[in-house]
């Protein structure tokens, strides 16, 4: 569960939106949409505990350490850092109770799920954008977090990669995980999601996504 009460975020003294009041139940799948620079990624960082809110309260139904997983955008990574794809993905075992043998078996399964078995020894700088994105998603797959914050998860993925992504999103939803997903692909979201939060400088709106993308009458502004 994610609950925002009069929440504002952004640079110091410069909130990006009017106060947000929102409650997302456990197991929900919600799109986060809006123009570039409106504060979508910043909101995810606030929920993840990477940034402090300017005002208001934020409550999570899980502990932040181990309970929340955040998929960063690729530009946040140093592609020259000398680690392999396998090492990057294995970081998803942080706080995992599995023993070494269990971790190895789980790692190989996840690499297979994302089509990365043949690339696990490759350094980050040798990966294509789509391969790196699948590696980041595979790392997320290794966590036991109940809240998943996905910042443009479809970035750089080809059709096959996007099919894998949505298979996992549906699986995570079936497991009861709460997901908040930033995307600019409104057509894809409209086909797959029920609800979305639209973020803008004039206010935030939570409603069925088809209303937000103009297929139905306007909705009430809720924040």
pLDDT digits (tens, 9 = 90+) for 19-76: 999 999 999 999 999 999 999 999 999 999 999 999 999 999 998 888 999 999 998 8
Task: Give pLDDT, residue 64.
Answer: 84
In sequence order, the β-bridge partners of residue 123 are 84
Task: Give pLDDT, residue 150.
Answer: 98
Q: Is the confidence at residue 212, as pLDDT, over 70?
A: yes
Per residue in 145-194, pLDDT tens?
999 999 999 999 999 999 999 999 999 999 999 999 999 999 999 999 99
Query: Could you tell me if residue 74 is inside a domain?
Result: no
Q: Is the confidence at residue 220, as pLDDT, over 60?
A: no
Q: Is the confidence at residue 215, as pLDDT, over 80?
A: no
C-alpha 120: how far from its chain's center?
23
Domain match, 52 and 125 both: no
Q: What is the CA radius of gyration of the chain?
A: 18
Query: Could you tell me if residue 71 is inside a domain?
Result: no
Domain match, 27 and 15 both: yes
Question: What mean pLDDT is predicted for residues 102-129?
Answer: 97
Domain match, 135 and 183 both: no
Query: Could you tell me if residue 181 is inside a domain?
Result: yes
Query: Could you tell me if residue 189 is inside a domain?
Result: yes
Domain match, 58 and 150 both: yes
Domain match, 131 and 166 both: no
Question: What mean pLDDT is predicted for residues 82-92?
Answer: 97
Query: Could you tell me if residue 67 is inside a domain?
Result: no
| Strand 2-8 to 20-24 pairing | antiparallel
Within 8 A by CB and 6+ apart from 153, the residues are 71, 133, 137, 165, 169, 181, 183
Domain match, 162 and 93 both: no
CATH number at residue 19: 3.40.50.300
Domain match, 214 and 157 both: yes
Burial class (CB in 10 A: 0-12, 13-18, 19+), 57: exposed
Domain match, 122 and 184 both: no
Per residue in 43-56, pLDDT tens?
999 999 999 999 99
Task: Output the six-digit token pair for 8.
Answer: 């504002």
Confidence of residue 217 (pLDDT cuts 50, 70, 90): very low
Query: Could you tell me if residue 134 is inside a domain?
Result: yes
The domain containing residue 157 runs over which residues?
1-62+146-223
Structural domains counted in the chain: 2
Q: Is the confidence at residue 221, as pLDDT, over 50?
A: no
Within 8 A by CB and 6+ apart from 204, the residues are 17, 18, 20, 22, 197, 198, 221, 222, 223
Query: Could you tell me if residue 109 is inside a domain?
Result: yes
């Amino acid at each position: 569960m994610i609950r925002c009460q009069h929440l504002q975020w952004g640079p110091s003294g410069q909130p990006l939106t009017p106060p947000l009041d929102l409650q997302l139940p456990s197991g929900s799948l919600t799109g986060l949409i809006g123009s570039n620079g409106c504060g979508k990624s910043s909101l995810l960082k606030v929920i993840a505990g990477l940034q402090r809110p300017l005002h208001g309260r934020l409550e999570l139904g899980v502990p932040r350490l181990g309970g929340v997983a955040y998929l960063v955008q690729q530009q946040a990574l140093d592609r020259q850092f000398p680690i392999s794809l396998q090492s990057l993905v294995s970081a998803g075992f942080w706080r995992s109770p599995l023993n070494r043998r269990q971790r190895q078996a789980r790692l190989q399964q996840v690499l297979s799920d994302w089509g990365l078995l043949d690339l696990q020894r490759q350094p980050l700088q040798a990966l294509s954008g789509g391969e790196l994105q699948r590696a980041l998603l595979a790392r997320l797959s290794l966590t036991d977090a109940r809240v998943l914050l996905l910042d443009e998860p479809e970035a750089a993925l080809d059709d096959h990669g996007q099919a894998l992504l949505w298979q996992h999103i549906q699986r995570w939803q079936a497991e009861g995980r709460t997901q908040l997903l930033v995307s600019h692909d409104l057509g894809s979201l409209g086909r797959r999601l029920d609800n979305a939060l639209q973020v803008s400088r004039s206010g935030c709106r939570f409603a069925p996504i088809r209303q937000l993308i103009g297929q139905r009458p306007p909705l009430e502004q809720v924040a």
